[in-house]
Amino acid sequence: MSALLAGCLIVTLAHPAPAGAAPVRYVALGDSYTAGPGIPHQTAESGGCRRSDHNYPHLVAAALGVARLIDVSCGSATTAHMTSPQALPGGLTNGPQFDALTPDVDLVTLGIGGNDIGFGEIIVTCVRLSLLLPLGAPCRHHYNRHGDELGERIDATAPKVAAVLAGIRERAPAARIVVVGYPVILPAAGPGCWPVMPVAVGDVAWLRGMEGRLNAMLAEEAAAAGATFVDTYASSVGHDVCRLPGRKWIEGLVPTAPASPVHPNARGMANTARQVLAALS
């Protein structure tokens, strides 16, 4: 048994699962922050979706003793890919994630929304602009040229998340639904760590606020749908992308542990699993 899995099992003892039988069928839906690209070991069946057998769905399933985990999370997934196929590199396709849902599913976790607001594009844009004005706020000015563009993207994603939650409830009416938020990426305070993570010092607080708004929207939609929201941000403060290797739970543009750039590493995934287990207890 790996140290990470053993650690997760120990956490389960501290946060026991709900009374009664363990979930029989657990379906994990979501994007790369669920899939765990780059984290050993990548599952052969996931192909271009790049799912890890140490992502939080696998850790949660092992800790709860789930009879069957169906993990259909996929890197770059959006809310649209819950009901539509997702094209992947190499001509591959990931089927609609909702195809995994059936009436006998009793636990569903969902981690989605970041790609709907353009997470990858935002990172690339902010990094590129920071090279010109590292002490300014070029990214904020770029996205605020014609109003609150990122805020509007978050607002536009809210009804999409609501529709996803309604779709889960329709297809798996007996399932407990857990919406998993996004962990800390940039430091929770201060100006960041340019050039280690090349985001201009004036943009750090603004981007931090945008992630807070995204998480708040996910929490609101979860509550409205009768789902459970899991906050992974508070517990990951102090483990942001600017920390030293071994301390950071999110990797930078040049990863120092196996993971995709600006994504959770194995420690980050283990923390998310702890928060999900605590929410289920």
Collect contacts of 188-194 with beta carbons under 8 A, ≥24 apart. 188/233, 188/237, 188/238, 188/240, 192/242, 193/241, 193/242, 194/130, 194/134
Residue with tokens 């009768």: 226
- Known catalytic residue at 84: no
- Which candidate in 54, 58, 239, 263 is catalytic? 263
Q: Can you tell me the distance from the alpha carbon of 38 to that of 145, in angstroms, rounded to the nearest whole number? A: 36
Q: How far apart, in Å, are the Cα atoms of 8 and each of 15, 41, 62, 83, 147? A: 10, 17, 8, 32, 44
The verdict on whether 81 is a catalytic residue reads: no
Which candidate in 2, 15, 32, 54 is catalytic? Answer: 32
Closest to 241 in 3D by CA, of 202, 190, 206 = 190
Q: Which residues are catalytic?
A: 32, 263
